[in-house]
Amino acid sequence: MKAWILRSFRKGIITSKFPGGRNENASPWSTPPVYRKGDQDPYCPVGAISQGKADANRCISCGLCYPNYEPSMDIHGSVSSVSVPALKKSIRIYQIDVGSCGACNLEIGALANPQYDMARLGISFTNTPRHADALLVSGVLTDNMREPLMRAYEAMAEPRVVFAVGACAISGSLLGKAVSDTLRIDVTVPGCPPDPFTIMDAVQKARGVK
Ligand code: SF4
């Protein structure tokens, strides 16, 4: 116990200052690539590059386009078509994996750890869609998960916000179908996987917090 307390004092506060300050710990692989040099578009396995621009909604961060393209370190890549002020004080999230490799789930799980500490922003997880304000969907939409996804969505009360987290959920990526094939998406969170900062930024946008 004593050692645990001493270690805490030695380490100090490790929680990030998000949304204030620079998020210097953002993961380079999860930020959209931007054009740096080269005179033609390099090969991209998912066809994310076209006419000098990389589409973050498709990019799987494979790095094959480096050094023509490099991570932008921009964590504000999410796009929200909603702003729900009713969720400003608190938002409860139900997460559903419809066919991911697990990487997005790890980043979503990290939101609760001391470094990101989403609870300080009024964000928390719930394990039932009936208590949820937001549905966080990760992974390529697989046939067997189509019905569970719709059942979770229909169990939620209004207002409800649907997030597509990661390139697979947004575009189907290399493997298959986008979640938008079945469900209207309110917020897209690009990245492969998206960094927890990017996910928190997306949640704050949907709440109209900034
Ligand atoms: S990192 Fe890979 S998937 Fe992303 S734009 Fe470059 S080549 Fe395409």
Give the burial class of 204: count Cβ atoms within 10 A of its Cβ; 0-12 exposed, 13-18 middle, 19 or more buried.
buried
Residue 27 within any structural domain of the chain: no
Residue 32 lies in a domain: no
Residue closest by Cα to atom 7 of ligand 1: 44
Number of folded domains that form the chain: 1
**Strands 134-138 and 161-165, sheet pairing:** parallel
Enumerate residues lining ligand 1, CB below 6 A. Answer: 33, 44, 46, 48-49, 54, 59-65, 69
Radius of gyration of the chain (CA): 18
Q: Which residue has the tokens 């208590």?
A: 131
What tens-digit pLDDT sequence spans the chain (210 residues)?
Answer: 788 888 888 888 888 888 876 666 678 878 889 998 877 888 999 999 988 899 999 999 999 999 899 998 888 889 999 999 999 999 999 999 999 999 999 999 999 999 999 999 999 999 999 999 999 999 999 999 999 999 999 999 999 999 999 999 999 988 789 999 999 999 999 999 999 999 999 999 999 986
If you take atom 2 of ligand 1, which residue's CA is the nearest one?
62
pTM to 2 decimals? 0.91
**Ligand 1 centroid from CA 28, angstroms:** 13
How many whole angstroms from 57 Cα to the centroid of ligand 1? 11
Predicted local distance difference test score (pLDDT) of residue 24: 60
Kindly state whether residue 136 falls inside one of the protein's structural domains.
Answer: yes
Only one residue has tokens 């799980």, namely 109
In a domain, 134, yes or no: yes
Cα atoms in the 13 Å half-sphere on the side-chain side of 163:
32
pLDDT, position 21: 66
Give pLDDT, residue 22: 60
Closest C-alpha to ligand 1, atom 3: 59
pLDDT at 170: 96
Whole-number Å distance between alpha carbons of 67 and 65: 6
Range of the domain at 148: 79-207
Return the residue whose CA atom lies nearest to atom 4 of ligand 1: 59
- CA atoms of 123 and 91, how far apart (whole Å): 5
- Report which DSSP code applies to 3: H
CATH number of the domain where residue 112 is located: 3.40.50.12280
CA of 60 to the centre of ligand 1 (A): 6
Provide the pLDDT for residue 197. Answer: 92
Q: How far is CA 84 from the centre of its chain?
A: 18
Q: Which atom of ligand 1 is nearest to 58's Cα?
A: 3
Q: What is the pLDDT of residue 173?
A: 82
- 163 domain residue, yes or no: yes
Please tell me the predicted confidence (pLDDT) of residue 154. Answer: 97
Residue 14 is assigned to a structural domain of this protein: no
Ligand 1 centroid to residue 49 C-alpha, Å: 7
Domain contains 12 = no
Q: Is residue 171 part of a domain?
A: yes
**What per-residue confidence (pLDDT) applies to 165?**
97
